Structure 1
């Protein structure tokens, strides 16, 4: 392949674009002549294989090694295993003959070496370097010439997830040592009976006796001698890295700089300073960001140094979470979390635009997880997010990750089939790798015939998969469930569940944010994406799927297409006015100048630096949450803010003044690219050279298999079909038609559309998990809508809210993982509403906070929405409960510690009909909220939060009705009961 869209290479130099994932490392190279080469290997650096023969006591032969670069494997360690993964031998390769695939070893092999023994080759260099050597055909004994390397890596993310970062100390102001432990009081895993506090990633905490006020004035000067003593003590404790985050340092970093200077004097090299990393208000977010940076920097620097040693003076740039490239020496921990997935976002958006699709959803299914993102002509970014349990204040592309990849475990939990979230990883890997691994999604695809064995880069063992599936069939049959499955049916069931998990993630980035996925094209990529894309798209109602010729390595391709990007930000916290905007010109100019200098230092020519993208974070005064508003064409930020506020939240406060929170800029240095070559489209129907039996939803069909390299623009392929590529496989499901476009993309169009799936109402372990995921996904989308549209800080940050779905009799069916004290009582509230209102009608909505009828305390307000069929039958109810920051009472906040009667806590709302057959009674609710002895102090906020709860319930209603439309009411009703029974059994 040649003449693809490419980056900024010098004449005579190779370019390498590499994505190091959790399981696989994808490498894409562009030769000096413009040819594109690819190579995929395990991120562990292991190269597995199967011993075909042993011609001598010190030689093994693997035909799949034929064609590997001559002597590439010399000096690699070699280990042998039996089919169960038990070690048999350890030695080293002393010679490799590429013509025959013969590895000569330094030690004699075991005499009783079993047939089809497995082996692994392991070098001393990182996986990206091994990939570079493979494509350059260079053995370890030879130096790598000057090349250009662009790299995205999950090394930082993995270190954060596995808690294998540097020993870090958190240095903060006296009195605040526990601030990151307390954080915002939101808790993960609320339903765990054995409550376990999250382990902090910092090992020690030091409090500095200093103080700066909120205006930046020094109140207490730190004692330098005492600071030196404290830092020396940290040295003695083996601390490797420091995170310095002092109170109000965002407006005056003087004391942080002092601590940093002393730390360097006593011998610390790894130091992260919050006033430089995230000069923004909010101590917790700024502190978490600084700690993450300090925790990961030593790990990343060691990793980069290892690669640097191998590639010498070559150009080495890394991908940041924001989607831009940066020189390796400037790559830091806080910008590394989405380094690999960011390349995928750049890749899928660029190829979709090239194919004529302005709106696209990226579907990147790898070995460990699946990443999904949305593109609408501009990149959606988050400036504060939570990853691996810690808050990070840094620009990141908005990517949703779900633990459903090719390596996700497939198991039976005693009641239902489960896929993930655990993964087999790269080692031992799936069962079919032959290293004693468990059953995974990859095994299911192999067993279903969706992965042609002869096209995989190393041998796969289908028989061991069949044996393990049969064992699982026997286990299910012997369980109280007593369901009878064949291995084929079980594999189809696991794939159906895996697809449901990925659909759930895509709904979180589309439906939950007010976007209809049917308006988008699904761009599939990643090693496993093409095997699931058609089924996922059909479930979502998406009619088009796009697969690029490099879809198996599209994240690496995206890294090659990325530009140099620099971001700048400065806290302002000033009232919005025309005069204030004019005064911000100096701030904008300073940030833009600094960003331009950094891009010039990266080697980008001045004429290739685009004008800065400006934006402001605005909010209503007195409201915590701000919206990022890009510079409008007419320059009127306030009008743009109101338009976006109304779109997201459904309302505006016309008389409430605005506040400018943060000034932001983005500067892009573009890199030269060559336009991708186009082929004239000539419509024809190619004939497959081979066929294979493939299972689709448990039904076997004779399926043609095509090689991607043999297809040409205009070729039409009717599903079912399989298209094999060097780094991935695309499965064209029945009912889809594929056509090759001018640049080699494969466009799959769903001609059949989503099918109604009415079926058996008897309990089935597969459908039980599918419906459990469907219901839970709806409840989660309700929660996302509520969090997004609410006004209260309690909802937006503390996550003090709950959403759930109930039967027509008020019994809980499913809830999102929200507040247990809410969810335990909400069923009582719903049942009381049903008792008090036996004549519920379509279009009714109720509000209550009555503690005598299922409520908790008065600030917890519940909104209940009944759902009727077209014939008027009550089918189920949706409900949401949220803690309002103010509901009246004798003290602000409505939580008086010394109240003696209920009215002193606030306004009591008892069985209030907010909407009567579609007619709003908001005015009456406002009268209730502002009446009584202790009325609410913020009625507008109460009404806004109630509106957000109504919107959340409506999200649930529309999704539930879609579910009924697809599966039929008898099936949906039956599985509501089955889920309740399964929950009782598990308890």
Structure 2
């Protein structure tokens, strides 16, 4: 084997191996560019056109393989290629079976796909050695193995008490409204706990037991375990225990050992454990792949691309480095295309068959340090790439009386209908039928007749639902428009999330389908320039040529900026030198990245600097970045924390010559330009010029108003309705992105405890973007209550949290803004967000033992926070200060209110723009149509059920009854809660808004279809709640109003269980949010804990997740211990707590705290007296329980609602309920 080296005379070969295809691009020593695309199965396919003689065949099509290139290739079915003549396409096979005319031939060498691509690009037959090669590879091999569960079985070793860490995750369920759900199983199904403990400061408080460790290693060896990951609690602060365990494993001969702290030094146990397991799981796969590529290339240099867009030598490559390397190559290629065209700010738009990848580039790509890929959250640097479920394979559907495109995809198998494998109608078929693709010029044969047949089937389904026949072209153009709307909306959301305006960027469109849709997407975003690379279909491969050999050195800091002064510059320069030393000759500092945040927050900001910053620059740059991103200054007095410091150094590659563009020409009609590696659709209104490297530059002729590019009255009702559904949903989701980005409170930013809504002029909910189902039906009621007797004016925004006006509980603050167009009220936008603190008797504003509303915090009757566009924040500040129990965190309240106000302002502006573009009448018509559609779906559900009655009841732990009777009649569905208990003396009263939310949640789950969340579902539903616990009266004086905080979080869950039980949909779930609060004068902490969900007909319940009306993430153990004076002793599944049945209920959780200083603890829970009931003979789940373990060794069981003090060293253990079983075991 020749020694690895690079020289100017080397071939420069760049190969991207995907799941289906491997793309190759090469630069020869003479400067010639070469390209290829082969199957990632390493097979070359051909078809026999004629049988010339025994063993000799003429192959169909053009032939790119010169000379005797194919000689020595094996043939599937037997035989070896003996001779190949490309001129006549003649192939001779020795020793194989006979093939007939029309048969498919598959030829292979047994090499990895990058080596086959290398062989083709350099025209190297099997009998000759490769030339000197500078070889770069990116691959989705590890990604596909992770997604398809084709890695190696292994074991995770973690701290005792956390053996269920991977199974619990962050306790959120994947889908809000599906009663039947499955959690994605972790890649390792075995986890072992080891005793030994390090605290949050890095101090060893319990050493490892070597005897225990040796016994574990012996057990692993006897079980033939050869893949192990290790992630121990607080090892980020001191990795000594992980290193010791790693030493035991390696000494025992275990081949693949991944220590979490070798991969990342970041705080948070869960993502670090998932990173270590993913790396270990993929190590055998990737080690084999890299070894095969190295041995196959017979010398030269081999570098592999990382997800961060940098190159690593093969010997340093880790499996987790590769997970997003293919898309990263595309982004690097897009950067080079932009640079070559003189553009600095671009959005990279890579549209493939299943999905589209979107990335923003402003000079350089934006990095992130954690991403979820399939079943694992991976903590490793990667280019920030957002994947959108919209691609050429997105399925066109007619369902529940409405059109839809995606998010489901036909994938590669069966693929679009035109692939001829029985696939559904997709976006690719739509483009083919519209004449926007040449079926003869595609890489594979396309069957246009199969696409036509699926379109006919699609039209027949519409007609069966009573829709008059539509012209085929209008339907096809409408489906394409819907697909483009979805893609543009996704890019818009990504832009808003990152605080930028997409219209100020150029669009680089690539991938198999990107150039086909670029003009439509750009027009909707207001983008005036599009760049389409000559190698649009191979850009991930070509992008490898523009990547640098890179080294990222990171150091976890987790310290306040004001204490970092001494030795700061030397500290950074040490990291710079470490990075440069690893690169060797030619390395230089690329950038310094400072990950920073306000003290106490989870979300961070990345500051990027070209040189080592002075200490004094840190705070100033952070404040500037904060103001730029959020629109206001960080709160005065809030300390700033440096979370991590990263240094990026690299050895840059020389770029290709800049691309020169010829004179532009105007497009009068749609033009389709198709070649081997791309299909471009250029629409009227654009001028385009051809580049010297085969690229295309498109510039819009006229000024774009992104909301005016398509007049609405040109579409049929079905197409127009779906387009406006997309636009309305996009509007509220964009509001949500803005609110999440700009809010201060972790409840909004991380736990996503907020909702945004669009309502019509009567205050009826049209579209809701909820993260928390308890907000579902509440906002419409709130808007109507606030509107009673009010004269709205343009520029008004009202704030409210009072339950008498549709509020749920006091921490949930609602902002409502009317939308006027030419003095006409056309609707409202609103948002509701949970403030972490709003006063009250206890920190966190959820006092467990409150008896009146006043004790729960600042009570806000409707008040103008903005009047005719003029801010009234000074008056609001006074309101928060002057309450009987004022807010303890006023600065955070004001910052969150500013974010909520900005969110509404965005929604007002967006709806006004839509109305001006399409007319008020069209907007109002489609608001009405959306609600009408939901009402029709509900009527269809109720129609066969007329005359049916259902009833259910249950009692809270104190004996208070929740009772319901449902009757289906000609008038619709009556939901009557008569017989429920009186007004509660404590805080378990549920407001009218909460009851409506619970009913709407159950109806949405019952209907099952993907519907916009609007009040049309309630058009034929009549809810009756007599005065009592489910409809308390609220006098003017908050001191005599009933308390409601428990009604929002606890009673709401019981209402849902009673309704689901009555309708025979599901056994009881845990029926509580298990609210736990603790703190003292210095701090406050609040969490809700998951449990078991109920089983149903055909499925078992989920274990250890939130259920129904809640779905918030739980704080990571390391964050909890770092921020608060507590120690988490265990967090595990409560095995056996789910009710037995034909289908078992899910298991609850067990969580135990040790308190490191004195404080007050409050608990607001239910289902401690009786467990969640089973159904159809299924057993009940175990009830929950909470105990305090005193320092003297005594154990005391605690009531379901309680508040008490703890001393240093005392412990609290919480056992949450299991779900009920379904059916006799």
TM-score (norm 1): 0.88
Q: In the alignment, is residue 43 of structure 1 matched against residue 40 of structure 2?
A: yes
Q: Are the counterparts in 2 of residues 11 and 32 from structure 1 also a CA contact under 8 Å?
A: yes
After TM superposition, list the pairs within 5 Å mapping 1:567-966 onto structure 2. 567-577=552-562, 580-600=564-584, 605=585, 608-611=586-589, 613-631=591-609, 636-653=617-634, 655-673=636-654, 675-676=656-657, 683=663, 719-741=669-691, 744-752=694-702, 753=704, 755-760=708-713, 764-816=717-769, 818-835=771-788, 837-869=789-821, 871-966=822-917
1:51 is displaced (CA, Å) by: 5.1
1:676 is displaced (CA, Å) by: 0.9
- Alignment partners' CA distance in 1, 2:376 and 2:422: 34
With over 3 angstroms needed to count, the CA separation of the structure-2 counterparts of 1:110 and 1:575, relative to structure 1, is closer
Q: Are the counterparts in 2 of residues 50 and 459 from structure 1 also a CA contact under 8 Å?
A: no
Q: Which residue of 1 aligns with 2:89?
A: 101
- Alignment partners' CA distance in 1, 2:337 and 2:458: 42
Q: Which residue of 2 aligns with 1:292?
A: 278
With over 3 angstroms needed to count, the CA separation of the structure-2 counterparts of 1:718 and 1:298, relative to structure 1, is farther
After TM superposition, list the pairs within 5 Å mapping 1:370-381 onto structure 2. 370-381=356-367
With over 3 angstroms needed to count, the CA separation of the structure-2 counterparts of 1:507 and 1:232, relative to structure 1, is farther
With over 3 angstroms needed to count, the CA separation of the structure-2 counterparts of 1:883 and 1:844, relative to structure 1, is same
1:174 maps to which of 155, 160, 167: 160
With over 3 angstroms needed to count, the CA separation of the structure-2 counterparts of 1:270 and 1:183, relative to structure 1, is same
Q: Are the counterparts in 2 of residues 146 and 311 from structure 1 also a CA contact under 8 Å?
A: no
Q: Are the counterparts in 2 of residues 362 and 372 from structure 1 also a CA contact under 8 Å?
A: yes
- Alignment partners' CA distance in 1, 2:446 and 2:34: 24
Q: Which residue of 1 aligns with 2:540?
A: 555
Q: What do residues 818-840 of structure 1 show as CA deviations (whole Å, max 9, x unaligned)?
A: 221112322222222222x5311
- Alignment partners' CA distance in 2, 1:979 and 1:74: 64
Structure 1: runs of 5+ lacking an equivalent:
1-7, 80-89, 684-713
Q: Are the counterparts in 1 of residues 6 and 300 from structure 2 also a CA contact under 8 Å?
A: no
After TM superposition, list the pairs within 5 Å mapping 1:56-455 onto structure 2. 61-70=58-67, 72=69, 94-95=81-82, 96-102=84-90, 124-140=110-126, 143-237=129-223, 239-388=225-374, 390-455=376-441
Q: Are the counterparts in 1 of residues 866 and 872 from structure 2 also a CA contact under 8 Å?
A: yes
Q: Which residue of 1 aligns with 2:23?
A: 26
Q: Are the counterparts in 2 of residues 23 and 366 from structure 1 also a CA contact under 8 Å?
A: no
- Alignment partners' CA distance in 2, 1:292 and 1:648: 33
1:16 maps to which of 13, 17, 22: 13
Q: Are the counterparts in 1 of residues 169 and 270 from structure 2 also a CA contact under 8 Å?
A: yes
* Secondary structure, counterpart of 1:166 in structure 2: coil
1:514 is displaced (CA, Å) by: 2.9
- Alignment partners' CA distance in 2, 1:497 and 1:355: 31
- Alignment partners' CA distance in 2, 1:459 and 1:615: 48
* Secondary structure, counterpart of 1:963 in structure 2: helix
Q: Which residue of 2 aligns with 1:687?
A: none
Q: Are the counterparts in 1 of residues 597 and 643 from structure 2 also a CA contact under 8 Å?
A: no
Q: What do residues 502-528 of structure 1 show as CA deviations (whole Å, max 9, x unaligned)?
A: 112211222343322221111111122
Q: What do residues 264-302 of structure 1 show as CA deviations (whole Å, max 9, x unaligned)?
A: 122322222222222122223333333332333333223
Q: Which residue of 1 aligns with 2:972?
A: none
1:260 is displaced (CA, Å) by: 0.6
Q: What do residues 700-746 of structure 1 show as CA deviations (whole Å, max 9, x unaligned)?
A: xxxxxxxxxxxxxx677665323333311222112211112455532
Q: What do residues 686-706 of structure 1 show as CA deviations (whole Å, max 9, x unaligned)?
A: xxxxxxxxxxxxxxxxxxxxx
* Cα RMSD, aligned residues only: 2.9
1:431 is displaced (CA, Å) by: 3.0
1:938 is displaced (CA, Å) by: 0.7
- Alignment partners' CA distance in 2, 1:391 and 1:883: 27
With over 3 angstroms needed to count, the CA separation of the structure-2 counterparts of 1:922 and 1:367, relative to structure 1, is same
Q: Are the counterparts in 1 of residues 186 and 375 from structure 2 also a CA contact under 8 Å?
A: no
Q: Are the counterparts in 1 of residues 340 and 659 from structure 2 also a CA contact under 8 Å?
A: no
* Secondary structure, counterpart of 1:455 in structure 2: coil
* Secondary structure, counterpart of 2:643 in structure 1: strand
1:486 is displaced (CA, Å) by: 4.8
1:140 is displaced (CA, Å) by: 4.9
* Secondary structure, counterpart of 2:309 in structure 1: coil
With over 3 angstroms needed to count, the CA separation of the structure-2 counterparts of 1:762 and 1:314, relative to structure 1, is closer
- Alignment partners' CA distance in 1, 2:755 and 2:570: 45
1:408 is displaced (CA, Å) by: 2.7
- Alignment partners' CA distance in 2, 1:201 and 1:888: 44
1:576 is displaced (CA, Å) by: 2.0
Q: Are the counterparts in 2 of residues 758 and 971 from structure 1 also a CA contact under 8 Å?
A: no
With over 3 angstroms needed to count, the CA separation of the structure-2 counterparts of 1:494 and 1:100, relative to structure 1, is farther
- Alignment partners' CA distance in 1, 2:454 and 2:564: 68
Q: Which moved more, 1:768-777 or 1:778-787?
A: 768-777
After TM superposition, list the pairs within 5 Å mapping 1:452-601 onto structure 2. 452-478=438-464, 480-577=465-562, 580-600=564-584
- Alignment partners' CA distance in 1, 2:149 and 2:300: 31
- Alignment partners' CA distance in 2, 1:158 and 1:60: 36
Q: Are the counterparts in 2 of residues 365 and 525 from structure 1 also a CA contact under 8 Å?
A: yes
TM-score (norm 2): 0.71
Structure 2: runs of 5+ lacking an equivalent:
938-1006, 1008-1225
* Secondary structure, counterpart of 1:585 in structure 2: helix
Q: Are the counterparts in 1 of residues 667 and 684 from structure 2 also a CA contact under 8 Å?
A: no
1:682 is displaced (CA, Å) by: 6.0
Aligned residues: 926
1:325 is displaced (CA, Å) by: 0.7
Q: What do residues 509-556 of structure 1 show as CA deviations (whole Å, max 9, x unaligned)?
A: 223433222211111111221111111111211111111222221221
Select the structure with the greater relative contact order (CA < 8 A; seq sep ≥ 6).
1
Q: Which moved more, 1:853-862 or 1:937-946?
A: 853-862
- Alignment partners' CA distance in 2, 1:125 and 1:487: 47
